[in-house]
Structure 1
Amino acid sequence: MSTFLLEIVTPERKVYAEQVNMVVAKGVAGELGILPNHIPLVTPLKISSITVKKQGSKDEIIAVNGGFMEVRKDKVVILAESAELPEQIDVDRARAAKERAEKRLAESKQDNVDFKRAEAALQRALNRISVSGK
């Protein structure tokens, strides 16, 4: 089975760079499955997990917090605001962030709290918690 290079890059570092068989990501228009020789495209990504499939090994799950995915013939590059492998996630910190975001969302009904910002923080925390358990 043929492979392609998957790179996941954040402003701070390169999180992932390996040959893979398939990538499953959630774009803003829906879920995408990318195989070798996929047509070129660029799409914005949702705050969600990326599933990486490699022949002969268990699927890898990576938490990606927004960004873009660029698909080329032999390479996929994900430019993310942040990305973490499951073993890199501080679950206690993610749970605390979830609680803070939920509190801000509850208060946003009374105050002028930025609802979209609090909602995005909650999505990031839930994504990290979900990936850490896999």
Structure 2
Amino acid sequence: MNVELVSPENVLWSGEATQILARTLDGDIAFLPGHAPFIGALDIAVVRVWPTDGEPVAFAVHGGFVEVSDSSVSVLSDVAELANEIDVDRAKAAQERASAAVAADENDAAAAAANKRAHVRLVVAGATSDAH
């Protein structure tokens, strides 16, 4: 199936794949060739693509949408990053700041989202193994 991962700035990845794993607001979902048409809102999470001719590719995706039609999957995100685009030290510092803000006010939704974004960036960069 043809997969395209797009942000406003550019096409991050485009090619043939055997599988894509994404997290929507309703939970994790895998798309295989022949999947039924689908549109869903993406959560802040790791999106993984299994190219037909290579190793899996992981992206830090900070929301957006996924659309499946016929033999194609399109991931549209305001912000999406590959591992080599992530500054690990900056992501760690962001996570520390956000964690402190959440600890001070557990109802701070903006801090919780910032913490989640930083964590996902660290997972994709390989700085932590916990994907949740």
Aligned to 1:59: 56
**TM-score, normalised with respect to structure 2:** 0.88
Quote the offset at 1:56 in angstroms. 4.6
What is the CA RMSD across the aligned residues, in angstroms?
1.6
User: Is 1:118–2:111 an aligned residue pair?
Assistant: yes
Residue segments in structure 1 that go unaligned for 5+ positions in a row: none
- Residue among 65, 82, 90 paired with 2:87: 90
Q: Does 1:99 align with 2:92?
A: no
Structure 2 unaligned residues grouped into runs of 5+:
128-132
Say whether residues 1:131 and 2:124 are aligned partners. yes
- 1:101-131 per-residue CA deviation (whole Å, 9 max, x = no partner) reads 112112326xxxx711110000000000011
Judge conservation of contact 2:6–2:74 (CA < 8 Å) in 1.
yes
- 70-79 vs 100-109, which deviates more? 100-109
What count of residue pairs does the alignment treat as equivalent? 127
Please, what TM-score do these two structures have when normalized by structure 1?
Answer: 0.87
Matched, 1:32 2:29: yes
- Runs of 4+ residues over 6 Å off in structure 1: none
Which has the larger Rg? 1
**Sequence identity, in percent?**
35
